[in-house]
Amino acid sequence: MKKVIVKCKLTDRERFENKLAEIDRDFSPVYWQHDRIYIPRDFKHGANFPRLIMRTEVRATDMPAKYTLILRRHIEDSGIDMVEATPVTNYVEMVNIILQLGFKLQTEVSRQRQEIQMDDQNVIYLDAVENHDGYYAKMESVLSDTDSAEDVREDLRRLFASFGEKDITELAYSEY
């Protein structure tokens, strides 16, 4: 699936949440995610190489962890992310397969996350990222075949600006 992803470091989390509350939106309960990000051994920035992400997610302490393999390819010239996710039942075996395919561990990212599903195509995440100060908001929009990535990106930027946010980026948390 094609996505446009824009995020920012929040200047004021409470103000951000209050703006969303004004339009009758409220965040989900907090849950935990941990991503191990793998890149090809010959990875080069700007070359549209894929990343494989092994995600562990815990939504409730009395429930088992959920594992997902995510293939993410950022297409530099268009700013579009191609993202596919597959549930995984055997975490250790999947990591061994990733390593045997020639990928290497680049980094790990842990976060406490909340989300708001705005509609079928748009979701907003509120993240507290381990080893990063403050809170981040991340907006993802799934593109249809007729959507212009640049128009959608501008819409997301304008939405952030309407909330008073200016520190907008498309960098991954691992690139901060």
Q: Which helix (H) or strand (E) holds 21?
A: helix 13-22
Range of the domain at 15: 2-175
Model confidence at 89: pLDDT above 90: yes
Quote the number of domains for the chain: 1
pLDDT digits (tens, 9 = 90+) for 43-72: 887 788 899 999 999 999 999 999 999 999
Identify which of 38, 42, 43 has the alpha carbon closest to the alpha carbon of residue 53. 38
Task: State residue 47's pLDDT score.
Answer: 81
List pLDDT tens digits, range 120-149: 999 999 999 999 999 999 999 999 989 999
pTM for this predicted structure: 0.89
Three-state SS annotation for 27-69 = CCCCEEEEEEEEEECCCCCCCCCEEEEEEEEECCCCCCCEEEE
**Which tokens sit at 61?**
């302490």
CB of 167 closer than 8 Å to CB of 15: no
Nearest to 138 by CA among 112, 169, 109, 163: 169
pLDDT at 164: 87
Check residue 82 and give its pLDDT.
92
Distance CA 65, CA 157 (A): 33
8 Å CB contact between 111 and 33: yes
Distance CA 135, CA 15 (A): 12
Task: Indicate the helix (H) or strand (E) that contains 160.
Answer: helix 149-162
Q: What angle do CA 142, 159, 119 make, to 5 degrees?
A: 40
Residue located via tokens 């297409």: 75
What's the pLDDT at 74? 84
pLDDT band at 79 (very low <50, low <70, confident <90, very high): confident
According to DSSP, the residues that pair with 72 across neighbouring strands are: 51, 83
Q: Taking residues 151-172, report their average pLDDT.
A: 88
pLDDT at 175: 77
CATH for 102:
2.40.320.10
Q: Which residue has the higher pLDDT, 82 or 173?
A: 82
